[in-house]
Each structure stands twice: as C-alpha cells, then as structure tokens.
Chain A
Amino acid sequence: MGLNIKHKVAVVGAGMSNVMRRAEETGRELSFYAVKEALKNSGLTIEDVECVVMATAPDAFDGVHMKGEYLADGAGAFRKPYMRSYVGGGSGVFAIIHGWYMVASGMFKTCLVVAEEKMSSAQPHPQAAFNSIYDHTLERPLGVNLLWIFALEMNRYMSVHKIPLEDIALVSVKNKRNGLDHPCTQVGAEVTVKEVLESEIMAWPVHRLMVSPTSDAAAAIVIARDDIARRVSEQPVWIKGVGWNLDTAFWTNRDLYYPDYVEKAARMAYEMAGITNPRKEIHVVEPYDPFAYKELHHLEGLLLADRGKAPELLKKGVFDRDGELPSCPSGGLLGVGNPIAAAGLMKVCEIFWQLRGEAGKRQVKNNPKTGLAQAWGDLMQVGTVVILSVN
C-alpha cells in the first residue's frame, strides 16, 4: 500500500433522522432531514457541497428500481456528481471511505455522504428480502433463512472459545441500556440477562433479544478538505485511516469463529493512521452489532481484544461508557436500531459527536481523542473501518 495521499480530510457535520419500525416519511424525506441536520452546524451550505455519495440497499429490497436516482434529490445531489456505494451492512462505513477519497484525491473540496434505509416497505416481513444473498443453486433450494448464517457463526464462535450464552446476552443488556439515551432510538430498553435468555429462541443460539430490529432511518455527514475544514469548523474531526476487505463467498469453506477480513480492514486503517497499539490509541469504538455476539466477534477482529477474550473484558466493564474502551456508547444496532445501509453511518455520527464532546448523556468518560467505527456485511464477508481523530 502506497500511502501517498494528497489531502487531509475532515468530517465537519453529522446528522440523522429518528430510527423507526415504520416511518411515515419516505426514504427521500428521511434523507432530506439527515442532510439538513448534518449541514446545520457544519459551516457549509448545500451550495458548498461539490459531490454526493449515497449508500442504500439493492433495488429489490424496496421495489424501487434505480433507487439511488430516486433518493438523489433528498440527498442533496441534484445536478451534482453522485455515486452510490453498497456492500450490505458494511455500506455505512464503505460510504465514508468513498467520500474520503473523493476529497483526499484532490478531485473535490467537499463531499456529502448520505445513507438511507427504508426496510418497512417489504411485505410481509423484510427478512425474506435477504434470502437472495445465498447461493441460488446450492443454498437457496434448502429453504434458507437469514438468521441461519448468524446462528451458525455464533455457535461456531461460542464453541471454539467455550463462551457461555450469558456472556453474550450481556451485549444486549449494555447496548439496549445505552440506546435509552439516544434521541433517535427505536429499541432502547432496560433488560436483564435473564430476560434476554428467556426471550424466544429464533434460531438457536440466537434469541429474540440478541437480534437488532428492522428499521427505517437516514444519516448523513459532511466532509471537507483540510483548508476548508479549518476555516469553517471549530473542531474538525479528521479521517485518519480507512480500511476495507472482502472475503470469499464460499463461506462454508472458512472458519467462521474469527472474521479475518475485519482484521485485514482494521490493519489497513491502523497502518494509514499510524496506530501501532490500537488498544491504547483507540479511545472509543463503535463496532457493528446487528446480533449480540457480533460486537464481541468484531472487537476481536479489530484487535481490540484477544481472540475469545472480548466476553471477559465485557464482564469487567471495559466496554461500558465509563470503562477503559467504551464500545457502542450510542446503543448501536441493538439499542438504537438497524437501518441496514444507514446503520454504519449512524456509528460514524456517534464517533463524531463523542470526539467533539457533543454526545450529551451518552458522552463517554475517558475524554476520547481517537475513535473507530466499523461495519460488516454481505455473506459474512466484508469489513469496513474508519478511524477518526480530533488530533
């Protein structure tokens, strides 16, 4: 990797809509709201935005062909260079990577990154829309179900490391509690380990309260070149490192207990950011948590915990808001909601607010200077990572 990057790039604004089971608004309306919020305190106006990157699920998901074009007006992309990026759940962080290189390359001075999902349109339940990720010839005829891959991966992770179910339930307890303090939350709640373990079994070992909901929402950030960022913003949040990686679609040929591709994405971002000891140099983290075990699995892939040891650190309180390495202080996908492509960008927004000390009741206690957001997706295949810093 040749790190011959032309420009320093910063995030100068962030905003998001409510996260909801069934939004009254269209995806276009939600996007418009998120963009307005992101621009509000950015020091920039829509006229200053030179290009737009949009993340949203494939067309079949919503039944809207050329959905990127459909959403463009709400995303502020009218008559602007516009690009759509998508890697499943990994999209929200994939999109900021695209936004970053639009500006880092010297091509543009500013970029607006928008992510939207409206899952409630798919009937009778959006879950079925996911089934076409499986191989059409060898897997779909078996009557697949999206929960399977998570259950299979979770079982493998638990079995290899001998992790008890109670330890994984703690992730739901922490994130749902954190979510209560998020103004946009759909599923913030006070729950106990017992309640998580007694919730309905969906696909063993996955219980209902270990699964993030289906959601509607939009999120947006504004990105600017260093000279602009310093001029318009009192506290630019610098994009220090980006990384992404995709593993093989032959997922039954890999050991699911560890996400190698997340590690590869993380190492790429750490190298670019000049981070050699992530456990000391990352102060707040938003790993992707669509299922409870996923947060632990990803903390290990991000090298923020030894393999199989994230559950112990969780029990010790290391990942609490007042812990040494607060993880998912927003509440994450389990505590706020999971609007697929928007979920990752929602995490980027949280790191932006945390580093600027603007997270209100969610503010972590360790005065963070550097944070990391990560998303994940496709057929248990993709890792996307961004490192942000006020230094």
Chain B
Amino acid sequence: MNIITIEHIAKIYQVGTEEVQALRDVSLTIDKNEYVAIMGPSGSGKSTLMNILGCLDTPTKGLYTFTGKHVSDMTDNDLASIRNKEIGFVFQTFNLLARSDALHNVELPLIYAGIGKEERRERAREALTKVNLEDRMDHRPNELSGGQRQRVAVARALVTNPSIILADEPTGNLDTKTGEDIMALFETLYEQGNTIILVTHEEYIAEHAKRIIRLRDGLVEKDEIIETRRVAQPRQI
C-alpha cells in the first residue's frame, strides 16, 4: 500500500522578476515501511521536495496524494493536523524550543493533538527512553550535546506514532560516530515498521536506506534499490 503518491510536482519560486524552478516535474510513490534516501547536489531541490512531502509547503503544480487524500484540496487547519498526527519531522538544525526542557519539547506535538497531561507525560517519557535519554529529560537544549539534541528531535518526531518520518540531513551537523547513533535509531524505527525518508549528502549515510532517489536540477535523475544496505549498530554506551 503506498502512503505517498506525487504526480508531476513542480515548485516555482518568484525571486524579483526571475523564476526559480526548485522542482520541475517530479513523480514518485513511496510505500508503507519503505526506507528511502534522497540525494543530490546542493540546490537540486531536496529540501523543497521534503517540505512538500511533509505538508509544510504546497506545490505550484501537480498532484499530491497522502494516504489516499488530496493534499492540494486541504485547508491550513487540515495540513496542520496532518503534520501533527501523520508526520514526524527531523531537521538538520534540530529545531528544538530553546527555553523548554527535553520532556516539554517531546510533549509539544501531543499538546497540539489535545492529549491530556498524564498520558502526554507518559508517552513523552517513553519516547525519550527509546532514544536513550531517560536521564536527560529535564535538560534544556543548550545543556545537551548535538547528538543528544538530535535524539530529542527524533523522540519528538516519533512520539505521535506518525505514518512517516521525514529527516532533512539529520546527521549533517553531527560527527560520524554520533551520526551513526542517529542512524541506529532510524534502523530500529524501520525494523518496527515505520516509513522513513531522509535527505543526505553523504553516500555512506544513504546506503543505510533501501532505496535511493537522486535529484538533479529539480528532476529525478535516478531511482534505485540498494541490494546490500548498511545496517547501523547501536554503540555500546
């Protein structure tokens, strides 16, 4: 069953009098429990595609169907609701709330889902335990290392049990070892049946996925299945 279907998607930015075609014509489908890496040179439209897939942005042209629903027809509120319940985002720059501790950051999506305090706390703790941060719950982002921050972000992405996890260069700001920790987290999520799409520059990271989609100048250049993928091992802490 496919979760995502996009047909002839284009995204055009108007900069002054000039048109920038971030995406020209992209079509693809992504199934449940797929592990996809999106690669391509800088400026090829990876982030733009991710934002559209994550319902953060809407395409200029084309049709996007998410779990059977036409995203183009949706109101802002519907989109917010999909982002809240169906999609978990992980960003390169973590994007945590600086003034809130780890627990509150992870709770936040549940607050917007209208879930009561007891259940919220419980689920946020569970998610933080999954990413091995049970002893850092009351730390603020500036009291955590980069890797720990990204793990908080992963916990926040999975706390609502979304249909899909989108990660835009999740290891871009981390050293190799810490990056590997994050990849190990994704590995576990994947094994548990989650669908994961991640954007990366690094061949080595992309090889953790089952499928690599290569973009160039706003077009799909190559869409291939990896035969022998890397499997990230959790480090012994």
A and B physically associate: no
Chain B positions within 8 Å of A, measured between CB atoms, are: none
Chain A positions within 8 Å of B, measured between CB atoms, are: none
